[in-house]
Amino acid sequence: MDDDVRGALATLLEPEPAMRSTVADDVRRGRALRMRRQRWLAGGVAAALVLGIAGLVGVPRMAGGPLPTPGAVTGLPSAAAPSTAASAVQLIGYWRVTGTEDDGAILQFGSRDSTTAFVLWRRCGGAIGDWRLSPSGAMVMSSWTGLSRGSECRGRPGALSPRVPWLDEVIALQPDRTGYLLLSPSRTVVAGLVPAERSDIEPDAGPTDVMADLPAATDADRHALTAAAPPGSQPLDPSELVGRWTPHGPAPAHLELAGDGTYSGAGGCGHGRGRWTIDAAGVLIATGSPPVAADCATPEAPSVWAWVWLAEARGARLTGQTLALLGPDGRVLGTLTRQA
C-alpha cells in the first residue's frame, strides 16, 4: 500500500515546471530576512557594512539635468522644511505612496543598529532596498531584491518585479502638509508619502509576518540618521568623484562612480551597486546592498570591497588622484586611486 501511495503521489508531480527562482534568490531573501530581524553577524561581513547607515545627499545627475542643491530645494515651500534630524527619524514608519505607478503601495522605512532598509509593499509582491537621507534633506533610494508571492500574484503582470523605477529618481525629501514629498533632480514631485499603518499593508503582498514589523529606533539609530560630515572631510562636488577608482590592495577591484548617481563595484568574488551623492555640507551618502557572492579572499590576496566603504562612508577627502572615504567618526575606511 505504501508503494501504491507513493506512486500515486508521484503522478501528481507531473508535469513539473522549472523553478523560477535560483539559489542566489534564496540567499538574497535570507539576507533580507536576517536584516529585518537585525541579526547581522558581526563580521558577516560586508552585508552589515554595506547597509551601514550614512545619510544621503542628492544624487548628481551629470547627464540628466542640473545638480541638486540639497537643503535648498526650490519650487516648494521651504518654510515647511523641518530640522533634518526630525525628518530622518520621523520617516521611520509606514507611508502610503501617492502619485506614482505604485499608487496605494505602502513604503516602510526602517533603521536599526545603524542599518537602514525599506520595504515597498505593493498590493501583491513588492521590493526591498536601502534608503539614505542627509541632514540637509537629500535622499537616495535603491531597491535590490523583490518580494515574491508568485501564487498570489499570478495574472498580475509586473507584480513580482523588484524594479521600482521611480525610486531611482528620488533625490530629496521635502515635508508637506500631509506628509512628505519625494523630489526629482528637476524638483518635480516623484511621489507623495502619506502616513499609514502596518495594517494598511495588503496581507497578500508578501511575507508580512516576518518583514512588516518595525523595531523602535534606538539612540544609535537617531545618531546615525542625523550625523553631520565627519572631521577631515571636504565639501566636494559629486562631479569631482565621477569616474573609476581602484582601491589600494593586492587583489583586483574597482569602484565606479557614475554621473547619474549610480555606482558599481567589484572585488574578489563579490560585487555591489547602489546610489550615491555628496551634499553641499560634504556629507557623503550611498545606499548599500548585500554582496551577491561569497568572499573568495585568501590570506595572500584579501578581497577589497570598496563599495562597502562607500556605503559606510559619511564623507570624503580628495588629494590629487587619491580619494579617501571617511566613516562617521572621520576614520579612513579606505583609499582609492583614480584610474586613468
Cell 535560483 sits at which residue?
A: 22
Q: Does 17 bind other proteins (CB under 8 A)?
A: yes
User: Measured from the CB atom, is 59 or 159 closer to other proteins?
Assistant: 159
- Tell me how far, at minimum, the Cβ of 307 lies from other proteins, in Å: 21
User: Measured from the CB atom, is 12 or 79 closer to other proteins?
Assistant: 12
- Quick one: which segment of 33-41, 77-85, 176-184, 304-312 binds other proteins (CB under 8 A)? 33-41
- Tell me how far, at minimum, the Cβ of 95 lies from other proteins, in Å: 24
Identify residues 48-87 at the interface with other proteins (CB under 8 A).
none
* Sole binder of other proteins in the list 4, 42, 299, 319 (CB under 8 A): 4
Longest Cα–Cα distance of the chain, Å, equals: 79
User: Measured from the CB atom, is 91 or 153 closer to other proteins?
Assistant: 153
- Tell me how far, at minimum, the Cβ of 125 lies from other proteins, in Å: 11
User: Measured from the CB atom, is 148 or 289 closer to other proteins?
Assistant: 148
* Sole binder of other proteins in the list 108, 148, 174, 289 (CB under 8 A): 148
- Tell me how far, at minimum, the Cβ of 156 lies from other proteins, in Å: 12
User: Measured from the CB atom, is 80 or 294 closer to other proteins?
Assistant: 294
* Sole binder of other proteins in the list 80, 86, 294, 296 (CB under 8 A): 294
- Tell me how far, at minimum, the Cβ of 209 lies from other proteins, in Å: 7
DSSP letters for 99-116 = SSTTTT-EEEEEEETTEE
DSSP letters for 194-224 = EE--GGGS-TTSS-HHHHS--PPPPHHHHHH
Identify residues 36-55 at the interface with other proteins (CB under 8 A).
37, 39, 41
* Sole binder of other proteins in the list 30, 75, 165, 235 (CB under 8 A): 30
Q: Does 33 bind other proteins (CB under 8 A)?
A: yes
Alpha-carbon distance of 269 to 305, in angstroms, equals 10
Q: Does 302 bind other proteins (CB under 8 A)?
A: no
- At 100, which amino acid appears? T
Cell 521600482 sits at which residue?
A: 164
Alpha-carbon distance of 191 to 336, in angstroms, equals 36
User: Measured from the CB atom, is 34 or 244 closer to other proteins?
Assistant: 34
User: Measured from the CB atom, is 14 or 219 closer to other proteins?
Assistant: 14
Candidates 2, 22, 34; CA nearest to 210 is: 34
| C-alpha 282, offset from chain centre | 20
Binding residues for other proteins, rule CB under 8 A, total: 40
Candidates 277, 258, 275, 279; CA nearest to 69 is: 279
Alpha-carbon distance of 165 to 169, in angstroms, equals 7
- Is 164:192 a contact under the CB 8 Å cutoff? no
DSSP class of residue 186 equals T
- In the beta sheet, which residues pair with residue 195? 95
- Tell me how far, at minimum, the Cβ of 8 lies from other proteins, in Å: 5
Q: Does 151 bind other proteins (CB under 8 A)?
A: yes
Binding site residues, other proteins, CB under 8 A: 1-2, 4-6, 8-9, 11-13, 16-17, 19-21, 23, 25-27, 29-34, 37, 39, 41, 148-152, 154, 203-204, 207, 209-210, 294
